[in-house]
Structure 1
Amino acid sequence: MKKYILFLFYILAMNVHCQDISFALDSIHKSPGTDHDKLEIYYELLDSYKEQKNYTQLGYDAHLLAKWILREKDRPLAIKIVKMAYEAREKADPPDPELLKRSYYNYANYNKYSGNITEALEYFKKVIEVSKTDYLKGRANAIIGECYESLDDLYKSIEYQLKAFEYFKKNKKEKYIISNHISIAITYTKIRNEIGTKKAVQHLLIADSIIKNGKKPNALKLYYIYNNLANLYQKGSGIIDVEKGFDYYTKALEIINNEKVMSEMQFIHYNIGISYIGIDSILSRQHLNQALLHTTKDDAYLANIYTGFGYNAKQNKEFLEAQEYFRKSFSLFFNTKIPDIYWLPKTEHMSVLEDKAYFLELLKRKMHTWILMGKRDRNLEYYQQAIHTAYTCNDLIDYLLKENISQESKLFWRSLASEIYIIALDACHASNNIKDAFYFMEKSKVLLLMQDVSKTKINIPDSVLGREYFLKNKIINLHNELINTKENKKDSISSLLLDRKTKLQAYKDSLTSYYPEYFTSTELPTIISLEDVTLPNNEIVIQYSMAERVYGVAPETYGMLLSNDKKKLFKIDSLKKFEKNIYKLRQQLNKPFNTSKEIEEYKKLSNIVYKSLFPKEIRSYIKNKKVTIIADHILNYFPFEALITDVEKNTYLIEETEINYEYSLSFKEQNNSLTRKTSKDFLGIAPVEFPDKLVSLSKSLKEISEANSYYDGELLSLEKATKENFKKEVNNYKIVHLATHADASDSLNPWIAFRDKKLYHLELNTLKNNADLVVLSACNTSLGEVRRGEGVLSLARGFFKSGAKSVIPSLWSTNDKATATITSDFYKHLSEGQTKSAALRTAKLNYLHNNTDAEASPHYWASLVLIGDSGTLLPQSNNLLFLWIGLGLVLVLIILYILFLRKKKK
């Protein structure tokens, strides 16, 4: 009978013409039994199409069969069959893009729900390539966004969700526009910073407006909007408004009560319960219990609810109870029995976590709970548990940073890492654990710099160059700004238009020259151990760690002193006041002193900052020593040597101590290990005159000429000081000196000015330099923007990324006459054999002691600082001279010895 049925279907298949699905397929489907039961017959039919090379019909039938198999809940088999469909449609003659995109779409979607995200991404992108339908392109972009979110690549997710709007708006698909606004708001929320929070609110309010203006408002979508807005106003960075948050919760709860949407009850009550923590503990527990009532024991959301109970108990100082709730959460997160509150997941557990940011937050709370227990009970074991938890957080962050995610998403995870490490330092300080404190301090800085520094650059497919799309998008947006400006403000557009055009050109330049650096390996950089730190008797290292906000407040700042016989971890208290003092001090350094009152104000404030940064117990260690400062966050904004150590004597720190700066000791070791080969000593660049209405720097040519008198080389001045000439020559010189305009604080794209055009920060990644020293005697070359997870962005860091061993940048706009005096003196002493840091200190002290009143202001002499290697740097001519002198001395000794032997024989 079976053979008869197969024969009948063969006849039908042979006589079928390319219609939608074949009569044969339809007949098999309608025959008794499940589609799984009839698979052998289906495969015989599909094989017959292959033999006939009837790829069009094969595509039709396989595509529909995959749908039927999916209904019977066999997704792996559905994936296999729909793959057969798209492969057939790729071979069809003529090919039909509209049919092909459907099979690509289904194949991608089936893989997405099977957890094969990488495969899904590839084929959703193929949908966009072949589709001519705006709606489907929009859906594909939106789902690609969902995929990247599941891979914890939040910025890549946002990139594609924004792209989806373009297609939905063209097709006027209002319901998808609303859903996309809600979806992208949730993604922005997960970024957990002020910009992300405000963007999330913006998208939710737009969705709310569209729904209310529609004919039939969708109640459930309004609920999602109100629930998420409530969460943001309760906990979001920069916009907290508790009363407004509870108003939105009330609206959301009213909607789901009216609609009787029981499936959402657990979520809304959990959110309200979390929001009442710290406000009303009893109400918090009531809502968490309501959430629990609407959750089954098999529900994955139960882990979140137990976490909420843990947060509530922690707030009430019921610490053991909190740890017990965290244990229950762990059991559910990892679907395993957790034996006790001390258990922590291993690296191999990380892959099963869906919301890794949420779990990292849970670990952070658990760690902080251990610290609070330690402080209450004065129990060192609890501090050790906090440190163990910090290392687990560290493992999770490492796991994420090894993934192929966008640079922006890596910055997000680094920002969370900085919070973890600063909490860990609290436990280390309380337990006097220097070894682990050193690791956390180093790791936080290494993540900011060393992951961006690579010995080799490799080509990466366009699919992972997320920055390229970002820049293109910026060009489009700025172009639209230009158009709107011309249309709407014709009477007063000149200055604004110039600014926009400058920005637009910056992005275009960045696009043509910027290629992000990726490692050839996913291995994270090595952290130097405390045991490996060896220092001469006269050298001290002081390292600082800061973080922006933890639990919505500024945490303590920690410092560590290292010498050959002393290791001490200390804490800087009253941080809010300390931060204000730093910003005020930085403002005072921006200009010279004009009155005695200004001098006295600076002396007083500077001494307060000095005493905060160098507590009494460490001051005696730094006097008359060479001190390496490893700053952090806003501590990068000012030169430590300009601090006043004694108000009565008006003594600056530079007068007592030789200072240089490093990014981290691990980076120092890595950077010094790089091989640098140069054929020439000195390259000086001084355009003198500039485009874009930048003022002339009349002393800059003298500045590089005097340096050239100590170090032979080439001067690119006036018309020769072009951007292209610099890029062509920079790789060949041991010293590169740029006497020009620059601005690292430009939030668009930091730049260095040349005679013809600007070189932007992003372009430094495409350059290779072998410089032992780069001098940036220009404006604001080290004072960059502080970004969460990325430290201070500056042109100095850009030169380190491109290969420099040490950099002398400027912290503020300098007086070119004073700078020329100091740099000339610096090169004189450097060429005579002083180290870089000693030569710079000598030059600054000479200037300070040779000037009085306003001319002696630190504004004039303190701007230039040395970052990186502080060793000697003799001119090659001096090296040859010393070589000949040495050979001459050897020859003289040989002659004297021969004469002595002859005399002895006589």
Structure 2
Amino acid sequence: LQKGGQESNYLASLYINMGGCKDDLGQPREAIRLYVLTEANLLTQDTAHPFLVNLFNNIGTSSRELGEFTAAIRYLEKATAIVPEDGRYWNNLGEAYRSNNQTQKAKNCFMESIRLLTQAKKPQPFQLARPYHNLAILYRQRGQLDSALTYELRSLPLRKTNPNAFLDIARTYHGVGECYLAQGFFEKALLYLDSALLLQRRIIPTGLNAEIAASYLSKARCMAGLERFVLSMSLTDSALYACGYSSEAKFNEVIAPIELLTALEQKGNLFYQQYKHSKDENMLSASEMTFDTAAQAVRYFRNTLLESESRATLAGQFRDILSGGVEAALAMHRLHPETPIHLARAFAFSEQSKALVLLEGVRSAGTLKFEGISDSLLDRERSLRQAVTDAEVGLRKMLGRGNAASDSLVTRARNELFGHQRAFEAFQRNLASGDFAQYYNFRYGLSLATPEEIQAQLLSPNRSLISYFVGKNQKITAFVLQKNGFQVIECAGGESLEKQVRALRQGLFGYYTLAPRKRTEALYAKSLEQYTTAAQALYSILLAPLEHLLSEQVVIVPDGDLSYVPFELLLTDAPAQITNFSEYSYWFKAKNRSVSYTYSATLLREMTQKQHRKKPSKMLLAMAPFFPGTRADLAIAPPAAAQDENRKNLNPLVYSGQEVRDIGQICKSPDWWVGKEANKQVFLRYAPECQMLHLSTHGVLDSTADFSYLAFAAPAGDENPEPLFVRELYSLQLNADLVTLSACETGVGEFQRGEGV
């Protein structure tokens, strides 16, 4: 295979076909192992080999089955680029987008697939059934059940034009059953699910298959809906068996991770339902332990994924496991408050739900040495990661120039990025499965902070920590840790949380986001009333029940919608004069608290323990790229009329120069830069040497979080500001103790379950 030529091409075809068989049997990891054996061979041939598109397609679909959604998208985009007229590849790309929660892109791909397959010279109806079926899944996930059922029933006769495609026909039977299940027609759903299982078991008599597991799970939900809980539990156990799982928790033998996690969550919920019905403590204990096993499984399978985006998606997808675990463990704690294990377990469930990708980033940046790992291997990892970052940033800049970038240059940049991504992916795969698995587990594994560690390492008599958890139905739980105490408070009023947070934010800045001509006195008064009302309500829900437990210094770990709440601005009482801000009863002021934030207690522990690579040699780097002048101009006060009204256009920030100059004077540092001198190269050169960084600039939010950026002065010969992308920040080795972003859009963004804003 490595030699090339006709013989190697024959072997390549053989490996691809063998991988396809493994895929059909529900063994995507084995399939990828076979595909990778031939990938390098086909990519190094002088001309694009016709097998290449099939290889990219197959790697993409197998990656999706494993939960590697970003890798799946990458490979399937390559397949559609090679053969854009083949509707099959567009359908598969749509599946990957859907799995990655990019629903509009998924729908566009399915519609393109339908268009191409319909217009094909020799249409094949059974192929057209696939995008119809996938559109049905998309509509079902959106709750549009009538549309979902219409597309499923439309796909069924098309599937049957190929009567030997039992698994394809079973997929539509299963889809119809899911629609009826969602509508509450349980008996009808069971008829279709039984038909699906019959066909699936005919092809896979061992019963070990992800789709068989999914059918058992759907049947189990039907039985739960009919209140036949014992039968529902039995069917859930059948699903666990179909995943290749035994009670010994040997996750490495599981062939269907997603279905396993779904089954464990379902089983935990069934035990909890039976406890609520019977008050049998054994059922509650079984629920707690099942959720604990499920949480272990999430950690295990998360660690098998190579890309942080996929790990974050998995954590968000199964956050309800952790929510169920918190609920069951706290119920056990209420029954046995004298036994600390249940409260500690509830806290562990909560902690596992928070900021894991950010935690990995901190750990990655802090890794200097690891026993048995050579410096050359660490350098290789860093260089491969940096190559991916540089290629992504280069492509992003090129696309940002629009028509100025030729199609051939963009294509070349995409191909270079794909090559770097493949190289880093192969490196990670070797780490995970070879002699360096222990290092890989250290890098990407989880070691959650325990209450005892937090009390010993992070707290003092005058410092306490509140870790919030927002569970199902917006139920709010507050874990309060003191140096010598650990309590839990279940906060009332969670059902109104989203509404109150939205009102708080609208009251704080909604008025200022309007054009000046729309800012009326009446609207200003209304916004103040909206803010003060919501600020009091949120104080009553979130802080008033905890006041007696808090120290002077309070560390807050937010969760869910609470990530958008500036706790310092919550009010203990209504203001006497709504326009007199100095008389507002701000919580931190009224109760004499100092407030800090972290996204998880584990993250705070890692940051506290993190050692700088080297001691900073400079105190400060302060930069104001959009000050419209030079150092000399700062002797002249800028006119008030010069203030910008639209920061989206990256207009001058006329007071930013004075800001960084004053900070430089306070710190007795000459290292402050303004205007055109405050460019990206200056930052990259001096930032790693500085103890404090202060950036007074524009921050720009992007729909892809890694490509949000801070703007620096345009490089010589260019009119466009130079972006420093978030993606680039991950690979910088900063040694600062304090970083201040005095920029717009640094506190906004999309909330991602399990990560924060």
Identify the residue that residue 358 of structure 2 maps to in structure 1.
Answer: 449
- For residue 232 of structure 1, what is the amino acid of its counterpart? L
Q: Is residue 767 from structure 1 mapped to residue 732 from structure 2 by the alignment? A: yes
Instruction: Give runs of aligned pairs for residues 104-183 of structure 1, distance below 5 A.
Output: 104-107=12-15, 109-110=17-18, 113=21, 115=30, 117-130=32-45, 132-133=47-48, 135-169=50-84, 177-183=86-92
**Compared with structure 1, are the counterparts of its residues 262 and 675 closer, same or farther at alpha carbon in structure 2 (3 Å cutoff)?**
closer
SS class of match (1:559) = strand
**Compared with structure 1, are the counterparts of its residues 290 and 647 closer, same or farther at alpha carbon in structure 2 (3 Å cutoff)?**
same
Identify the residue that residue 675 of structure 1 maps to in structure 2.
Answer: 611
Instruction: Give runs of aligned pairs for residues 727-876 of structure 1, distance below 5 A.
Output: 727-744=684-701, 747=704, 749-756=707-714, 757-792=722-757
Aligned 8 A contact 2:688 2:735 in 1: yes
CA distance in 2 between partners of 1:353 and 1:370 (Å): 23
Identify the residue that residue 441 of structure 2 maps to in structure 1.
Answer: 522
Identify the residue that residue 308 of structure 1 maps to in structure 2.
Answer: 218
CA distance in 2 between partners of 1:149 and 1:600 (Å): 49
Q: Is residue 362 from structure 1 mapped to residue 263 from structure 2 by the alignment? A: yes
Deviation at 1:626, TM superposition (A): 1.8
Q: Is residue 613 from structure 1 mapped to residue 542 from structure 2 by the alignment? A: yes
Identify the residue that residue 539 of structure 1 maps to in structure 2.
Answer: 463
**Compared with structure 1, are the counterparts of its residues 771 and 479 closer, same or farther at alpha carbon in structure 2 (3 Å cutoff)?**
closer
Identify the residue that residue 147 of structure 2 maps to in structure 1.
Answer: 244
Q: Is residue 328 from structure 1 mapped to residue 218 from structure 2 by the alignment? A: no
Deviation at 1:140, TM superposition (A): 2.4
**TM-score calculated relative to the size of structure 2:** 0.77
Q: Is residue 561 from structure 1 mapped to residue 519 from structure 2 by the alignment? A: no
Identify the residue that residue 410 of structure 1 maps to in structure 2.
Answer: 311
Aligned 8 A contact 1:306 1:328 in 2: yes
CA distance in 2 between partners of 1:231 and 1:772 (Å): 48
SS class of match (1:685) = strand
CA deviation map 1:24-64 (0-9, x unaligned)? xxxxxxxxxxxxxxxxxxxxxxxxxxxxxxxxxxxxxxxxx
Give the number of aligned pairs. Answer: 650
Identify the residue that residue 291 of structure 1 maps to in structure 2.
Answer: 196
CA distance in 2 between partners of 1:124 and 1:379 (Å): 56
- For residue 451 of structure 2, what is the amino acid of its counterpart? L
Aligned 8 A contact 1:704 1:715 in 2: no
Identify the residue that residue 71 of structure 1 maps to in structure 2.
Answer: none
CA deviation map 1:328-358 (0-9, x unaligned)? 222333276xxxxxxx451x3x233333112
CA distance in 1 between partners of 2:19 and 2:123 (Å): 33
CA deviation map 1:116-175 (0-9, x unaligned)? 633531422321321524633322221232343354322212211111112224xxxx5x
SS class of match (1:739) = strand
Q: Is residue 689 from structure 1 mapped to residue 662 from structure 2 by the alignment? A: no
CA deviation map 1:885-906 (0-9, x unaligned)? xxxxxxxxxxxxxxxxxxxxxx
CA distance in 1 between partners of 2:194 and 2:65 (Å): 29
Identify the residue that residue 652 of structure 1 maps to in structure 2.
Answer: 586
Deviation at 1:652, TM superposition (A): 0.9
Q: Is residue 588 from structure 1 mapped to residue 489 from structure 2 by the alignment? A: no
CA distance in 1 between partners of 2:318 and 2:379 (Å): 27
CA distance in 1 between partners of 2:263 and 2:654 (Å): 59
CA distance in 2 between partners of 1:256 and 1:659 (Å): 61
CA deviation map 1:100-127 (0-9, x unaligned)? 4444443454467563633531422321
**Compared with structure 1, are the counterparts of its residues 368 and 759 closer, same or farther at alpha carbon in structure 2 (3 Å cutoff)?**
same
Q: Is residue 431 from structure 1 mapped to residue 332 from structure 2 by the alignment? A: yes
SS class of match (2:380) = coil
Aligned 8 A contact 2:207 2:242 in 1: no
- For residue 464 of structure 2, what is the amino acid of its counterpart? I
Aligned 8 A contact 1:406 1:464 in 2: no
CA distance in 2 between partners of 1:256 and 1:739 (Å): 60
CA deviation map 1:522-562 (0-9, x unaligned)? 22142111122323333321112347xx7xxx553432222
**Compared with structure 1, are the counterparts of its residues 475 and 212 closer, same or farther at alpha carbon in structure 2 (3 Å cutoff)?**
farther
SS class of match (1:644) = coil
Aligned 8 A contact 2:66 2:257 in 1: no
- For residue 194 of structure 2, what is the amino acid of its counterpart? N
CA deviation map 1:802-853 (0-9, x unaligned)? xxxxxxxxxxxxxxxxxxxxxxxxxxxxxxxxxxxxxxxxxxxxxxxxxxxx
- For residue 549 of structure 2, what is the amino acid of its counterpart? Y
Match of residue 672, structure 2, among 716, 733, 744? 716
**Compared with structure 1, are the counterparts of its residues 529 and 705 closer, same or farther at alpha carbon in structure 2 (3 Å cutoff)?**
same
**Compared with structure 1, are the counterparts of its residues 355 and 478 closer, same or farther at alpha carbon in structure 2 (3 Å cutoff)?**
farther
SS class of match (2:50) = helix
CA distance in 2 between partners of 1:269 and 1:688 (Å): 60
CA distance in 2 between partners of 1:400 and 1:306 (Å): 22
Deviation at 1:416, TM superposition (A): 2.4
Aligned 8 A contact 1:558 1:571 in 2: yes
* Gap runs ≥5 in structure 1: 1-85, 91-95, 337-343, 486-500, 793-906
Q: Is residue 699 from structure 1 mapped to residue 637 from structure 2 by the alignment? A: no
CA deviation map 1:67-103 (0-9, x unaligned)? xxxxxxxxxxxxxxxxxxx35x54xxxxx5x664444
Deviation at 1:257, TM superposition (A): 5.2
CA distance in 2 between partners of 1:268 and 1:207 (Å): 18
RMSD: 3.7
Match of residue 630, structure 1, among 557, 563, 572? 557
Deviation at 1:670, TM superposition (A): 1.7
SS class of match (1:544) = strand
Aligned 8 A contact 1:544 1:559 in 2: yes
Give the share of equivalent positions with the same residue, in percent: 20
CA distance in 2 between partners of 1:167 and 1:405 (Å): 25
Deviation at 1:788, TM superposition (A): 4.2
SS class of match (1:791) = coil
CA distance in 2 between partners of 1:326 and 1:712 (Å): 67
CA distance in 2 between partners of 1:468 and 1:678 (Å): 26
Aligned 8 A contact 1:545 1:557 in 2: yes
Match of residue 275, structure 1, among 179, 186, 191? 179
- For residue 106 of structure 1, what is the amino acid of its counterpart? L
SS class of match (2:354) = helix
CA distance in 2 between partners of 1:120 and 1:109 (Å): 9
- For residue 586 of structure 1, what is the amino acid of its counterpart? R
Identify the residue that residue 825 of structure 1 maps to in structure 2.
Answer: none
Deviation at 1:378, TM superposition (A): 3.0
Task: After superposing the two structures, state which structure 1 stretch, 538-547 or 690-699, moved more.
Answer: 690-699
Deviation at 1:698, TM superposition (A): 3.5
**Compared with structure 1, are the counterparts of its residues 140 and 637 closer, same or farther at alpha carbon in structure 2 (3 Å cutoff)?**
same
CA deviation map 1:439-463 (0-9, x unaligned)? 1222222513211222236433869
Aligned 8 A contact 1:127 1:140 in 2: no
**Compared with structure 1, are the counterparts of its residues 280 and 482 closer, same or farther at alpha carbon in structure 2 (3 Å cutoff)?**
farther
**TM-score calculated relative to the size of structure 1:** 0.65
CA distance in 2 between partners of 1:483 and 1:681 (Å): 41
Match of residue 114, structure 2, among 197, 208, 211? 208
Deviation at 1:187, TM superposition (A): 3.3
- For residue 737 of structure 2, what is the amino acid of its counterpart? D
CA distance in 2 between partners of 1:702 and 1:688 (Å): 12
Identify the residue that residue 105 of structure 2 maps to in structure 1.
Answer: 199
SS class of match (1:636) = helix
